[in-house]
Amino acid sequence: MLSAAAAIVLWLLAGRAWRMALWWCCLFGLGLVIVIATKIAFIGWGIGIGALNFVGISGHSMRATAVFPVLFYLVLQKSPAPVKTSGILLGLALGALIGVARVVLDAHSVSDAVSGWLLGGAVSVGFIRISKRLPKPLLNRRLVGLSLLVLLPMSYAEPVPTNRWMNAMALYLSGHAKPYVRPVSANYFESV
């Protein structure tokens, strides 16, 4: 999803939509910072919400929900309003599907995934609302098509070790020797 977010920036810059590109970078970047902050808070200090089994906003859910609606909105910008709206809703649904997959894989709790979906939705819907007041980009169809073709094989690439980086940063900032980990039961939070 980070590659797709970067492709969106490329499309906007190539389409001379400088302000839209800046807004996208700011909103998406803010979403990433919030996700990282919640994860570092838990990993370094054990800050979470035990009653909800919340240990940090799901980055996968946030990124997917931020990127897919914006991607469809931009690709479908010359389509009738119902088609654009359907694309945005499909993007939100795909983000929800990613969140469900993270829960099924036991990588996140429901609260982690839902918070990621809500944050990603705020990023994408916020960007779309802001961009409606800005001049539309002149998207280069060849660039869009080529970048989408390049993104497909990237989904099979080796993932970037962001969890290891966040663990190292959290331990450095907190001064603790070991990271906090997701508790087996919610009672864990009562002792933190």
Read off the pLDDT of residues 69-93 as tens digits, 9 standing for 90 and up: 999 999 998 899 999 999 999 999 9
The count of other CB atoms within 10 Å of the CB of residue 23 is 17
Q: How confident is the model at residue 40 (pLDDT cuts 50, 70, 90)?
A: very high
**Under DSSP, is residue 49 helix (H, G, I), strand (E, B) or coil?**
strand
What percent of the chain has pLDDT above 90? 56
Q: How confident is the model at residue 162 (pLDDT cuts 50, 70, 90)?
A: confident
Q: Average model confidence (pLDDT) for the chain?
A: 88
Rounded distance between C-alpha atoms, residue 59 and residue 92, angstroms: 15
Residue 109 has pLDDT above 50, yes or no: yes
Nearest to 135 by CA among 6, 18, 10, 24: 18
In the chain, the number of structural domains is 1
Q: How confident is the model at residue 188 (pLDDT cuts 50, 70, 90)?
A: very low
Predicted confidence at residue 141, as pLDDT, reads: 78
Predicted confidence at residue 153, as pLDDT, reads: 67
The residue ranking higher by pLDDT, 163 or 132, is: 132
Give the range of the structural domain holding residue 154, as residue numbers without chain letter: 2-191
φ/ψ of residue 54, rounded to 5? -95, 120
Angstrom distances, CA of residue 74 to CA of 57, 93, 138: 26, 17, 10
